[in-house]
Structure 1
Amino acid sequence: MLEEMNQVRQAVEDALALAKKLGATDAEVSMSKQQGLSVGCRLQEVETVEFDYGGALGIAVWFGKRKGSASTSDLSSQALKKTVEAACNIAKYTSEDPCSGIADPSLMVTEIPDLDLYHPADINSDKAIEIALACEKAGLDQDKRIENSDGASFSSHQGFKVYGNSTGLVAAYPSSRHNLSCALIGRDGEDMQRDYAYTLSRVFDHLDSPEQVGKAAAKEVLARLNPRKAATAKVPVLFNSEIASSLFGHFISGISGGNLYRKASFLLDALDTQVFPEWLNIVEDPFIKQGLSSRAFDSEGVATHKRNIVENGTLNTWLLTSYAARKMNLTATGHAGGIHNWLISSGGGDFAAMLKKLGTGLLVTEMMGQGVNVVTGDYSRGAAGFWVENGIIQYPVSEITIAGKLTEMFKNIVAVGDDIDTKGSIQCGSVLVEEMQVAGN
């Protein structure tokens, strides 16, 4: 894989040189390639075994402010020549866009630290199948009420990214990712429920064991059996750690340049104002070793930086690509392609402590639907979870809707737990919101 990465690096340099030769004033070339296997089983029968090997090289060229793009999966010199020529020809027919172009050269990455992202595992299909089957079996064996399965799946992939542009930058890094998941179905009388568990890491040996994942999936399913309806009321709501990150996902949409320059965000005037309680901080750290969203540069080659996104509740920065930055007469922030390891401040204690802080109200463990309006901040989503009284879970609830305004929800966060979920780009614990409208259906 590392040898192939160096070959792609040479192809990127060749494509950039050819673009310059054909008269392009600027150009950028990138390629991400991945290889690995995925297996899936259901009810102890193997359903899928897939080997993945692919990737395409994309090139964008500019003639002044006219842009053309093309791509190819064939890296032969003849194919590269045709692809670059195609991009140049397309540029002749596009309209000028004064905000288009590669990122500011002064913002480009100059050093690529080793973030320890590459840990390939020597796992063949037999081993992968063994892992998936063991995971599902552990779940099925937990209780006679676990009578069906949506299956278990295991995947192990390695790959690399190479990026270059006409400033002379050519940068590359390899990475790996391993994942195991299990989804089970339980029945008690007429009631049927489904739930899942998963584990994810750059390092295979850091995954939870198949037995742990299967048992965790079974535990989640059994807890959800025989749900009740919740009464319509305004109550405190606790989002468990695995779904709490979705709240900050809406925040990301609100402060992203694409929505901002289109005037399509509920946070248009939020910069340098308090949007969360004073105790809440959000730190972005792109340089966490083995981090799932760690990277030294974004998809435009702009260097990433450790940032205080939110400090003492106050929003410090927008998230801007170079295009959005030009639209807003600002500077790109290195967020082309997304965020890089957001760390949400906690301190609310473990999950049991967060339940005590909730007191009497709703614990949400699943969300459905897409009822979030990023323009207005209106929030209304289907949900399921548990009714809690005096800090103790009483019974599961389903077919409910939770609603509010995102700006109010953010400011009314009471606590963030120390039960931090690290399986994503947003790392946070359970989040307690002081009050939301809960409607039983």
Structure 2
Amino acid sequence: MTDLARMTEALLDAALKAGAEAADALAVAGTSLAIDIRQGKLEQAERAEATELGLRVLIGGRQACVSVSDTSARTIAEVAERAVAMAREAPIDPFAGLADSGQIARGWDLAALELCDPGAEPTAAALEEAARAVEAAALSRPGIRQVEASAGYARRLMHLAATNGFAGGYERSSLSHSAVAFTGEGTAMERDYAGESRIHAADMPSAESIGQLAADRALARVGARKPKTGSYPVLFDERIAQSLIGHLLSAINGASIARGSSWLRDALGEQVLPKGFSLIEDPHRPRISGSRPFDAEGLPTQRRAIVENGILTGWTLDLATGRKLGMPSTANAARGTTSPPSPATSNIDLTPGTATRKQLIGQMGTGLLVTSLIGSTINPTTGDYSRGASGFWVEDGEITHPVNECTIAGNLRAMLGSLIAANDARAHLSTRVPSLLVEGMMLAGS
């Protein structure tokens, strides 16, 4: 982290010497290791290490961003000069600029977030062993003919500094195990997956449980056929329910609102979810991948209610979109080394229901349980929704058979306004959304 801090300081010094009025610099260093097993053989073992630097300079309402992977003093000086030259030719953006010094974060409890496993990096042999255990568990289920198993590890350090006085950084780690299981052959082949990722190795479920779940999901899909065309209730399984909330989050992103291109552009203060539902962002949950003590502009992050009791309370804003809309930033800036900040959410929680998924299936009567979505036709201006889907047909409150090759359609405003939630959201996820029942969607099948 000390080396990254020195690099950002060198970038800022070089930018000011080159003629920048203000600047911020981001340094990122990362290591990743991935193991893939296919048909019992090691298909790929890959390790990557990289350091990247990003510099944004501002001059007279103009800005430019450059990035580089060479960290030498000569390159840093050249990059700064190039960025300043680019900024002088850029169009004026009256909303671009750093935070005022009084806005920036000046203290945070990084240890409380537990963003990095203090243990040693796993070896390639340990990851291969885990991937083979996932594969073996899936193949132990009769009927599974092939498995693609993977295990991976990543560690990433970042440090952000700016000429307004902000400086800070943190480190993240992640461990993942996954499998795709196949059953049947030819046109009767079916596949499904399971995967888990954690910051801390101690929190990871067993490799065996992951492989078995992938296999069970694939076997459950045997004999899938098209459902009947018509209007039916649709239950979005917890695995894919967060995609619905993702469409809401995209629609309230400050960039979309500032462009006037969102289907929720006039909905501030209006009912967008049923009463009793709240949508909470909490970037301070410990041991969670989306947590962060400050945003990409150095503002302190905080818990906020995006939707409260069904009412939309605010947009997701960085400094620039906030200035365009005449509102303060919600400390939601995100960025990489190659581009300026833009708004993005972190950890999200939707109010859970009281019923289990099984109980919601019982309430459906006749309809579709969706476990996989394919493709997407979402109109960002109107909220019209159409996606390919597969899952299970429900008759008289009971799952009867798997289905595939169907399309579900509706309008997001109406869909979100009629949600019924289950209580099955997984606690470790950054976005915690339970299974969601939507009444009266159109199904196009046979």
**2:15 maps to 1:19:** yes
Structure 1: unaligned runs, 5 residues or longer: none
**2:429 maps to 1:433:** no
Q: Which residue of 2 aligns with 1:165?
A: 162
| Residues 72-129 of structure 1: per-residue CA shift (max 9 Å, x gap) | 2222222221211211121222122111122344332222222110105431111111
**2:60 maps to 1:51:** no
Alignment map for 1:374-389 (pairs within 5 Å): 374-389=380-395
Shift of 1:17: 2.3
| Residues 408-439 of structure 1: per-residue CA shift (max 9 Å, x gap) | 001011x2111113464321110011221111
Structure 1 residues 106 and 356 mapped into 2: Cα distance closer, same or farther (>3 Å)? farther
Which of 211, 216, 221 is matched with 1:214 structurally?
Answer: 211
Write the letter of the residue equivalent to 1:349.
A
Q: Which residue of 1 aligns with 2:376?
A: 370
Shift of 1:349: 2.4
- Partner secondary structure for residue 436 of structure 1: strand
Q: Which residue of 2 aligns with 1:41?
A: 37
Shift of 1:190: 5.2
Q: Determine if contact 2:99/2:164 at 8 Å carries over to the other structure.
A: no
Q: Distance in 2 between matches of 1:217 and 1:362?
A: 21
**2:358 maps to 1:352:** yes
Structure 1 residues 424 and 33 mapped into 2: Cα distance closer, same or farther (>3 Å)? farther
| Residues 135-159 of structure 1: per-residue CA shift (max 9 Å, x gap) | 111101211x21123x111101111
**2:70 maps to 1:64:** no
Alignment map for 1:288-307 (pairs within 5 Å): 288-307=285-304
Structure 2: unaligned runs, 5 residues or longer: 335-343
Shift of 1:363: 0.4
Q: Distance in 2 between matches of 1:228 and 1:62?
A: 58
Alignment map for 1:10-409 (pairs within 5 Å): 10-114=6-110, 115-119=113-117, 120-143=119-142, 145-149=143-147, 151-187=148-184, 191-337=188-334, 338-409=344-415
* Structural RMSD (CA): 1.5
Q: Distance in 2 between matches of 1:27 and 1:95?
A: 17
Q: Distance in 2 between matches of 1:423 and 1:173?
A: 20
Identity over the aligned pairs, expressed in percent? 35
Q: Distance in 2 between matches of 1:271 and 1:212?
A: 44
- Partner secondary structure for residue 382 of structure 1: strand
Which of 418, 426, 431 is matched with 2:423 structurally?
Answer: 418
Q: Distance in 1 between matches of 2:83 and 2:279?
A: 40
Q: Determine if contact 1:348/1:354 at 8 Å carries over to the other structure.
A: no
- Partner secondary structure for residue 331 of structure 1: coil
Q: Distance in 2 between matches of 1:34 and 1:228?
A: 45
Q: Which residue of 1 aligns with 2:341?
A: none
Question: Which 4+ stretches in 1 moved above 6 angstroms?
Answer: none
Q: Determine if contact 1:39/1:48 at 8 Å carries over to the other structure.
A: yes
Q: Determine if contact 1:266/1:375 at 8 Å carries over to the other structure.
A: yes
- Partner secondary structure for residue 405 of structure 2: strand
| Residues 23-81 of structure 1: per-residue CA shift (max 9 Å, x gap) | 31110101222103111010110011011111311001111112122222222222221
Shift of 1:300: 1.8
Q: Determine if contact 1:297/1:303 at 8 Å carries over to the other structure.
A: yes
The count of corresponding residues between Structure 1 and Structure 2 is: 434
Q: Determine if contact 2:155/2:174 at 8 Å carries over to the other structure.
A: yes
Q: Determine if contact 1:339/1:425 at 8 Å carries over to the other structure.
A: no
Q: Determine if contact 2:295/2:331 at 8 Å carries over to the other structure.
A: yes
Shift of 1:6: 1.1
Q: Distance in 2 between matches of 1:240 and 1:105?
A: 45
Q: Distance in 2 between matches of 1:106 and 1:364?
A: 48
Q: Determine if contact 2:101/2:165 at 8 Å carries over to the other structure.
A: no
- Say which is worse superposed, 193-202 or 426-435, in terms of deviation: 426-435
- Say which is worse superposed, 300-309 or 345-354, in terms of deviation: 345-354
| Residues 218-271 of structure 1: per-residue CA shift (max 9 Å, x gap) | 000000110122111111110000100000110011000111111110001111
Q: Distance in 2 between matches of 1:353 and 1:189?
A: 36
TM-score (norm 1): 0.95
Q: Distance in 2 between matches of 1:292 and 1:65?
A: 35
Q: Distance in 2 between matches of 1:357 and 1:56?
A: 52
- Partner secondary structure for residue 89 of structure 2: coil
